[in-house]
A and B are shown apart, each in its own frame.
Chain A
Amino acid sequence: MDKKIGVYVCTGCDIGTSLKVEALNKIGAKGAVCRQHAQLCGPEGSALIRNDIEKEGVNTVLVAACSPREHTGVFNYDPTKVSLERVSLRELVVWSHPANDEDTQALAEDYLRMGLVKAQKMLPVEPLAENTDRTILVVGGGVTGLTAALEAARAGQEVLLLEKDAKLGGWMAKLHKRYPFEAPYTELQPTGIEDLVKQVASEKRIRVVTGTKIEKTSGGPGLFDVTFAHDGTSETVRVGAIVEAVGGRPYEGSKLPHLGYGRLHNVVTSLEFEEMAAKGKFERPADGGTARSVAFIQCAGSRDPAHLPYCSTHCCMTSLKQARYYRDAVADGKVYIVYKDMRTPAQYEQFYKKTQEDVGIFLTKGEVVEVADAGSAGVKLTLDHTPLGEKIEIQADLVVLATGMVPATAVAAPGKAAPPPPPPAADAKKEDEAPKDVYIASDVLNLQYRQGPEPPILQFGFPDSHYICFPYESRRTGVYPAGTVRAPMDAADCALDAAGAALKAIQCAALTAQGKAVHPRTGDMGAPELYMSRCTQCKRCTEECPFGTYNEDEKGNPVPNLTRCRRCAICMGSCPERIISFKDYSVDIVGSVVKAIDVPPEDEEKPRIVAFICENDAYPAADLAARKHMAWSPHVRVIPLRCLGNINLVWIADALSKGIDGVLLIGCKYGEDYQCHFIKGSELAGIRMSKIKETLQRLALESDRIRVLQLSLDEFATLPGIFDDFAKKVEELGPNPYKM
């Protein structure tokens, strides 16, 4: 296909008054068409471009105007026919640098040259053409699963609901009542679970299969083939996306002997007390007599590093609820609640206050140090650090341990060995290795992914998902954990979670059917292409893909499942043979962009710095800083990357050998509270850059010429300082000896 590039320079928004536009047009004249307009984003400017596409046969559009993050709806062409490149003259040049300045002009011209090179190299994308399915699979028939199924069905989606138990309802079906979830938030409410089950049963778009288990899940979004056994047969169904609503279970009382469980008959868990409430009999298990007093121990095994380090969110409200059960049933019964902190957020405070008003409910902060048998007096609790005294003792007939919740994904299923860790790459040194992901073979989805059978875990056994950047998503594209498997939460939150996850699943199935990527590069129709004849089976791409896109064939070749791909291009950065590329993004394209930078001779004393910055956080940060008219060094040339994990040493080598004086890399924060949109791209970049010293030594250059940093969007105001500080350092180092 012949390239026909249209270059469009916008002169609005201070561009025309701050730059010599004729000089830009001269560079733009390399395109087949070069036009300038005072407002490209307006109807006239927009028509100008569309007219050239239709009448002049322009198939590559280069818009030199505002940031590519602006007016995405205006500069929007069919990516299978027209390639689009945008040069940010407004944010990266005129709003962040002095007007009508020699250096500002040079910056604008460089950006236009860089954009032109990219425009020349990029090709229209070829969308995936797969025969996808849009059915939503909901795994788990508790409150979350039932709600997700209903929400999806009511949105017009076919739904398959699988439940391991013989009946729907989950844990909620075991509860006597619910604590309030609607105004006035002061009285107990029926669970409503039977009604929810009925609604699901009567919804014709939902197929329910109970008493079943997923044997395996292969494929990817739009193409998931789910095999499950029921009624003695095995069935395989194709689905589009999965809501993983497999819930959790209460933490075992048997792990809490220090709180008396298992040692003393009259110590029970919240769930056991719930059963008593359902029967309407509050009896001491030891002798069957009615309990005259009940003591609730909050955070039993929760917020405790030896057990569950986290708060399970519902236990405070659950104990208040159970206190009400008991007080309603036993007239002069006493209830004690011993807490670390009462956590009854938002409207739940109303219920807390209302419950406190009962004369027979006694609360105190305190630490339970001993639970001992007190004979006929029941159980003796010794408490430390209470506002009633440093050390006090209370006695109760019955002790209830308010235990937290554990996600179903936290424990390896019996008989399921943990997957073997991926073999280390042959020549990789230890410090160069990316941190290994954690997989637990919990026998839930049984994914046929090379990386592991379930979504990877970040902490406490919950599927890893950056909730802020990826609401409801996991690191397995198309798998959306919701409810208590995602985070500890109560039923009201589960229902909200279910609706959110169902919506994400529907979006995923729909986008995949159109050959488009899901968040964060939503709508991207490109896909990685592998030049397999040069593959050395090093397995880096299969290991480093944060989303497990690549499986492996028996010879060790990567087998891409492209609907799993989020187009982050980390694989492109990982491949030592550089065989992975996209039609519009490749090692060659970025390398050529670097080479397009004009490097003035040494005697001009104008250093040049390349800043590779992540398009998710650092690049928007630059836009924000520019919007606030914060200025930074005009010697910096910004090149956005999909993820810092794309970084290839060859780009840096190219830059340095061309005479560029410094290279700055800015990615997202990584680690436990990572901000990286692609989980560990910036971390991988850091690891790859640790090898840069050799390269620099080979070139006889100072290692200070390279700087790797992390930045989150809220730190945007520091970005100009980061640029300036690095520019100053580079000036101190003096010119790159390779400069012409």
Chain B
Amino acid sequence: MEAPERIEPNLEVVRELKELTGGAFKRCGQCATCTIVCDLSAPDGDYPRGKMLWAQWGLKDRLLRSLEPWLCYYCGKCSQRCPRKAEPGETLMGLRRWLTSRYDVTGISSLLYRSWKAELLVLFVVALTTALGLLAYGFGHGNIRIYDGAQAFLSSAAIHRFDWAMAGVLTLFLGINAARMWWFTMVKDEPHKAPLASYLRQLPLLPLHFITQKRFSACDSRRPWAIHLVLMLSYVSLFTLIMFFLHDMQSGPAINWKVHAIGYAASAGLLGTVIFAIRGRLAKVEEQYKHSHESDWLFLALLALVTITGVTQHALHRTGHPMEANVAYVVHLSLVVPMLLLEVPFGKWSHMVYRPLAVYFDSVRRDALVHEKVTATRPEAAEGAAAGRAVHESHA
């Protein structure tokens, strides 16, 4: 007989989670309706129900070890059916916020999630710094009346270098945080660490899930997945164009259809999905849009503004207003920089790394269990035997 596991609730964690989730999870009565209606909850898992209880007790170590919050895409069925309005969907959303802030080594994430005022202030400072820097650079090296070429106010070559420098910084932070995620979930306190072979066997899952969010499409309602996919592909397209084809993007004023056709489609995709999301959050009809954390609004606002200013500077340039285009470009970049700098490593956008990683790590764990014949010792797996399996059998 194994020794009983000592459980010690953490009031501080409960308080943090109350802030990040709205606090409804404390009402959960463990009926498991959420787990039953969830299309994604694994037969040997117990989410959302189990995570609700861990959140109620503030079980920090368990939560930190858990990949499950990332395995949810917030279709909202659980929250719809919850008889006590304990908002399991929003709780998992809040847990993702909490995990993001815990993975982050700098503590910036935690600060931004817990205080929207601080977030606004940081945004403003970064934006202002960027704007001033760009203006200084522009007036020092070019002419505000010229948009492209050697005399350009902000030459594509310079911006290109700047972009790559920033990408390096972002990748560094994100890489560190992702490594911490791996450490918390796969190594620290893990009695049976997955072997390298398992990591290698499951590796193809990582790009697959990054690009397709295949798991999301398993939800009952596929529309949110489709919308998310459009948003994500638009973003990736623009990112690729900017990182690798900036020179072609900025030359002109004649339209270079080879790159601009993709740019227009991606901009339309971004703008459309952002408007859809804003309308959804205002209407509060769909479950995943009912509860909006301040960080959700800031994220959408930034994305909308970045898209609009991007399109504007492009349009001004093509219509023969290079000076106005330069001004709009400065504004655009002053929004892009804080958005990327804050959201990618420390905010909502970090999920583009954490989610595919979580799916990947989860598969690695399972692979290890199968191949190493390791006994399941994780609490969720042990209990899932009772809860999840029965549920899924009845589903079948």
Contact = CB atoms under 8 A, between A and B. Distances in A.
Q: Is this pair of chains taken from one and the same complex?
A: yes
Interface of A: 332, 334, 342, 352-353, 356-360, 362-365, 382-383, 387-395
Given A353-B27, A382-B4, A387 B11 contact: no
Given A389-B382, A389-B383, A359 B4 contact: no
A362 B10 CA distance: 10
A206 to B, nearest CB: 44
B83 to A, nearest CB: 10
A241 to B, nearest CB: 44
A388 B26 contact: no
B379 A388 contact: yes
A360 B46 CA distance: 24
B11 A364 contact: no
Contact of B4 (A342, A353, A364, A391): A391
Interface stretch (B49-57, B154-162, B332-340): B49-57
A249 B289 CA distance: 53
B5 A359 contact: no
B9 to A, nearest CB: 5
Given A353-B84, A359-B15, A389-B383, 20 more contacts: A334-B11, A356-B28, A356-B29, A358-B26, A360-B11, A362-B9, A364-B57, A387-B49, A387-B50, A387-B53, A388-B7, A388-B54, A388-B57, A388-B59, A389-B7, A391-B1, A392-B7, A393-B5, A393-B7, A394-B8
B28 to A, nearest CB: 8
Contact of B18 (A352, A353, A359, A391): A359
List the 10 closest pairs (A to B, CB-CB), nearest first.
A393-B4, A391-B4, A359-B14, A357-B26, A392-B7, A393-B6, A362-B9, A362-B57, A353-B27, A389-B379
Nearest to B84: A353
B2 interface: yes
Interface string B1-41: 11011111101001100100001001111100000000000
B27 A390 contact: no
22 contacts: A332-B11, A334-B9, A342-B29, A356-B26, A356-B27, A356-B28, A356-B56, A358-B26, A359-B14, A362-B9, A362-B57, A363-B56, A364-B53, A387-B30, A387-B46, A387-B387, A388-B54, A388-B379, A389-B4, A389-B383, A393-B6, A395-B8
A246 B210 CA distance: 71
Interface of B: 1-2, 4-9, 11, 14-15, 18, 23, 26-30, 46, 49-50, 53-54, 56-59, 84, 379, 382-383, 387
A111 B253 CA distance: 111
Given A362-B56, A365-B30, A389 B11 contact: no
Contacts of A332: 11
Contacts of B57: 362, 364, 388
Scoring A358, A389, A393 by chain B CB atoms within 10 A of each residue's CB, the highest score goes to: A389
Contacts of A391: 1-2, 4-5
Contacts of B379: 388-389
Given A353-B27, A364-B53, A387-B383, A394 B11 contact: no
A357 B4 contact: no
A176 to B, nearest CB: 25
Contacts of A389: 4-5, 7, 379, 382-383
Contacts of A357: 23, 26-27
Contacts of A334: 9, 11
A393 B7 CA distance: 6
B29 A392 contact: no
Contacts of A356: 26-29, 56
Nearest to A353: B27
Contacts of B382: 389-390
Contacts of A364: 53, 57
A287 B343 CA distance: 53
A600 to B, nearest CB: 62
A383 B4 CA distance: 8
A701 to B, nearest CB: 57
Contacts of A363: 56
A248 B338 CA distance: 70
Contacts of B29: 342, 352, 356
A392 B26 CA distance: 21
Nearest to A357: B26
B304 to A, nearest CB: 35
Scoring A332, A342, A362 by chain B CB atoms within 10 A of each residue's CB, the highest score goes to: A362
A468 to B, nearest CB: 30
Given A334-B11, A353-B84, A392 B53 contact: no
Contacts of A393: 4-7
B11 A392 contact: no
A392 B383 contact: no
B46 to A, nearest CB: 8
Contacts of B383: 387, 389-390
A265 B157 CA distance: 78
B5 A392 contact: yes
Nearest to A388: B7
Contacts of B54: 388
Contacts of A392: 4-7
A352 to B, nearest CB: 8
A388 B27 CA distance: 17
A323 to B, nearest CB: 13
A352 B84 CA distance: 11
Given A353-B84, A364-B53, A387-B49, A359 B7 contact: no
Nearest to A383: B4
A332 B26 CA distance: 17
Contacts of A383: 4
Scoring A382, A390, A395 by chain B CB atoms within 10 A of each residue's CB, the highest score goes to: A390
A365 B29 CA distance: 10
B90 to A, nearest CB: 15
A393 B6 CA distance: 5
Contacts of A387: 30, 46, 49-50, 53, 383, 387
